[in-house]
Amino acid sequence: MNGMTNKANVYYLPAAEPVKIPRSPSRWSRVRNRLVSGWWRARLSLADLRSGREDDYAALLRNVVEDGPAELIDRRPAKPSRPATILDFEAARLRLRPATA
């Protein structure tokens, strides 16, 4: 080497902007949001009951409203779409080995 250079590859990135912390909503706006969401949940639940459709949610809701504590709804496990794949590594090794005669 002829000489040593003291030139370093240093790059300065611009300073990150401080993160703006969002203001927390006031207590009354949180209460109002809870009341509005509860109102819509109740309206949709009652509309489901009135429509007469029997789905799991309506049955569960009717059970909670009329009888008290809800019971678990039993569901059959889903059927597999195809048979299970069995991996037989020994048979695969024998098939891939060259035939010796």
pLDDT per residue over 40-95, tens digit each? 999 988 887 777 666 666 666 666 666 655 556 677 777 778 776 777 888 888 88
Among candidate residues 40, 45, 51, 37, the one with its CA nearest the CA of residue 66: 45
Under 8 Å between Cβ of 63 and 70:
yes
The whole-angstrom separation of Cα 49 and Cα 61 is 8
Tally of CB atoms within 10 A around 74: 5
Cα 40 to chain center, whole Å? 23
- Name which of 4-13, 20-29, 62-71 the model is least confident about: 62-71
